[in-house]
Structure 1
Amino acid sequence: MQMLKLGGILNIIIAVAHIIGLFWAEQFFEKTGAGKPMQELAEIETTLPYILTIIVAIIFFIFGLYGLSASGKLRKLPYLKIGIYTIAFIYLFRGIGEQSYNIIMGTTNNNETVQSIVAIGIGILYLFGGLKKWNNKKNKERTI
């Protein structure tokens, strides 16, 4: 359960970092590699980068709640098992997919590599945490 707890805490930290980053939005977007796309969104509507960042922070926060719920630190959330595996898939797809694309296109850089490694790490926490949680339950039921 510790893997899911750690994954949940990391997601909540990421969510809070997104909100704090909005106080220095331009620098935050540049550091995370989202500077140009956010600049293009701001040309359409100045509030869009802020709204999008808040939505992303909410998603990370929800991912965090699911990790903490699966670890037993919060009440059980709906669709917990499928939620944990979906979150794991999203993180692994993001980490492996983006890094693979960048390598193929020759556009990889240190910042994107670190972000991909973090995404893969969190994906592994959710995947193996979920497998441990639900495989242990099955094993306990078989021995009873």
Structure 2
Amino acid sequence: MNGTLLFAGALSGLAGLLHLGCIYFGASWYRFFGAGENMAVLAEQGSLKPSLITLGIFCVLSVWAVYAFSGASLLPRLPLVKSVLIIISFIYAIRGLVGFFLMFAPMGRSPEFWLYSSIVCCVFAMVHIIGLRQRWEALS
């Protein structure tokens, strides 16, 4: 079992659970995690939009966690596990890097949101890349 990909899966899983927390706890969590005032206000008004968007993100992060766990050999091997882990790593890396530029045009978010979330995404990308490199031959 690969500890690095296991950790990568746990990171994606935790991120997914935090998104569920936003749905459950509402506007205060949307604000705390920097989702933007618009999302917080919509949540306060009872709109389904923030919950549906956040649920979609939770689903994506959950699939990513399952793929990392599969790559770590915690779960049975999933189809295209190596390719999917490469794509997940790439998406985390691109999201992390682009966020640093969005600090200067925050689009309804704070510059701090972009900074911290970009650091988190870059760390997630690095953990995935390291785990993928460790398991490269085994996943071929």
Percent identity (aligned): 21
Q: Which amino acid aligns with 1:121?
A: V
Per the alignment, residue 91 of structure 1 pairs with 92
Q: For residues 66 and 137 of structure 1, do their structure 2 counterparts lie closer, same or farther at Cα, with a shift above 3 Å needed?
A: closer
Give the C-alpha shift of residue 120 in structure 1.
Answer: 0.3
Corresponding letter in the other structure for 1:18: H
Task: Flag the structure with higher helix content.
Answer: 1
TM-score by length of 1: 0.82
Q: Which of 109, 128, 131 pairs up with 2:130?
A: 128
Q: Report whether the alignment pairs 1:61 with 2:62.
A: yes
1:108 shift after superposition: 6.3
Distance 2:74 2:88 in 1: 18
Query: CA, structure 1 residues 108+49, in 2 after alignment: closer, same or farther (shift >3 Å)?
Result: closer
**Structure 2 residue 82 is the aligned partner of structure 1 residue 81:** yes
Structure 1: state its 5+ residue gaps.
139-144
Query: Distance in 2 between the 1:81 and 1:40 partners?
Result: 40
Q: Does 1:35 align with 2:36?
A: yes
Q: In structure 2, which of residues 107, 110, 113 is the aligned counterpart of residue 111 of structure 1? A: 113
**Hey, what's the Cα distance between the residues in 2 that align with 1:113 and 1:92?**
14
In the other structure, the counterpart of 1:25 is 26
Deviation at 1:33, TM superposition (A): 1.7
8 Å Cα contact 2:100/2:114 also seen in 1 = yes
Is residue 2:37 matched to residue 1:46? no
Taking structure 2 as the reference length, the TM-score comes to: 0.84
Which whole-Å CA distance do the structure 2 matches of 1:33 and 1:120 have between them?
18
Change (3 A) 1:121 1:85: same
Larger radius of gyration: 1
Deviation at 1:101, TM superposition (A): 3.0
